[in-house]
Structure 1
Amino acid sequence: MRKLAASLSLLGLSYLGGCVTMGGGSSTLLVNTDPQGALVTIEGVGECETPCSVRLDGPKPARIAKAGFVAKTFVLSPSGREVTIPLELAAASEDVDTTALPDLD
């Protein structure tokens, strides 16, 4: 845990019990996704896995991505205290071989 905290500190990030606080802005925004565990990449700030807290000094372009879900791009604003982004399941592709899936009992 100490090594993680030291590494994050060198990157300008701080570890807060499952959340990462990024940047040196004036307002903290809690970013959630439904489902949790998505990667949030904020332009000019860094990235974290939801749920996470980010410090913003102004609106920032962000990208949310999670395997099996459609990636989203939008602007995070420090005007709120919390935001929850619903993720949409990606459509099945023809590349999936359904005959190779195991039978469920």
Structure 2
Amino acid sequence: MLVNANNNGLFAPSSGAAITPDGDMSYGQIRAFVGQNGPSEVYNATVVSNYCYKNTTWIGYDDTQSIKAKVTYVKQNALLGYFAWHVGADDNWTLSRTASQTWGS
């Protein structure tokens, strides 16, 4: 939870997990939260990550936009591959497919 709803950017002070006790959410849960609550969604190209916020709820995550940017960077810099954390938390393989399609194109 954000300490101050008006200070909602990256590195804003928080006072604990927002929605789940341990702060862990699947991509499907995040998309459901966005669909049901209409938070402001932000993509930060500097840190290559997404976050959304509404009132004192703040959620940081990777979306298809950040996944595509990260895999594109790996390809363009001739790195040998990419790593995905907690693939089981993907929603209907949305993020995994984005990474695979970006890698293969």
Question: Quick check: TM above 0.5?
Answer: no
Using structure 2 for the length normalisation, give the TM-score: 0.25
Q: Greater helix share, 1 or 2?
A: 2
Q: Greater strand share, 1 or 2?
A: 1
Using structure 1 for the length normalisation, give the TM-score: 0.25
